[in-house]
């Protein structure tokens, strides 16, 4: 459930035309992208370590990273269809950096 909930939160904010409307943020949107995707591979790890399909369970770190990157790419694609939003390679790179560091930091947490 935490994975599905978190994916839903990302989708919700991605679907808004102006997700920070009326809020002045003191940090770059790239930092927000980084922080938004930092925990995602860990949530995938929690699910993948316990699946009965051996390739996913054995290589949960790799699959967690791949699935997180695919979700980030789909998020950018989704934004192409939202008024006032656009897909951005730099946003995807920031997402990927958050995913990579999150995976590195959290790959061995025993949850």
DSSP string, 58-83: HTHHHHHHHHHHHHHHHHHHHHTTST
Whether 42 is covered by a domain: the verdict is: yes
pLDDT value of position 4: 96
Whether 91 is covered by a domain: the verdict is: yes
Over pLDDT 90: what percentage of the chain? 55
Number of folded domains in the chain? 1
pLDDT value of position 104: 92
Whether 8 is covered by a domain: the verdict is: yes
How far apart, in whole angstroms, are the C-alpha atoms of residue 82 and residue 109?
36
Helices H, strands E: what count in the chain?
A: 6, 0
Tally of CB atoms within 10 A around 66: 14
Tokens of 17: 């035309």
Tokens of 66: 């791949």
| Mean of pLDDT over the chain | 88
> For residue 89, which phi and psi values (nearest 5 degrees)?
-65, -35
Whether 20 is covered by a domain: the verdict is: no
**Residue 54 confidence class, pLDDT cut points 50, 70, 90:** confident
Of residues 61 and 20, more confidence is placed in: 61
Whether 34 is covered by a domain: the verdict is: yes
Which residue segment(s) compose the domain that 52 sits in?
A: 2-14+28-106
Whether 21 is covered by a domain: the verdict is: no
Whether 23 is covered by a domain: the verdict is: no
pTM of the model: 0.87
pLDDT value of position 34: 96
Whether 19 is covered by a domain: the verdict is: no
Q: What integer is the mean pLDDT of 28-36? A: 91
**Residue 111 confidence class, pLDDT cut points 50, 70, 90:** low
Q: What integer is the mean pLDDT of 83-106? A: 93
pLDDT value of position 83: 85
């Amino acid at each position: 459930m935490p994975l599905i909930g978190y994916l839903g939160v990302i989708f919700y904010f991605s679907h808004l035309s102006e997700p920070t409307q009326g809020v002045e943020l003191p940090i770059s949107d790239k930092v927000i992208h980084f922080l938004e995707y930092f925990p995602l591979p860990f949530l995938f790890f929690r699910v993948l370590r316990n699946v009965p399909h051996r390739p996913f369970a054995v290589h949960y770190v790799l699959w967690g990273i791949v699935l997180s990157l695919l979700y980030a790419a789909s998020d950018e694609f989704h934004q192409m269809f939202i008024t006032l939003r656009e897909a951005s390679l730099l946003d995807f790179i920031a997402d990927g950096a958050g995913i990579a560091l999150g995976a590195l930091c959290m790959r061995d947490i025993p949850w």
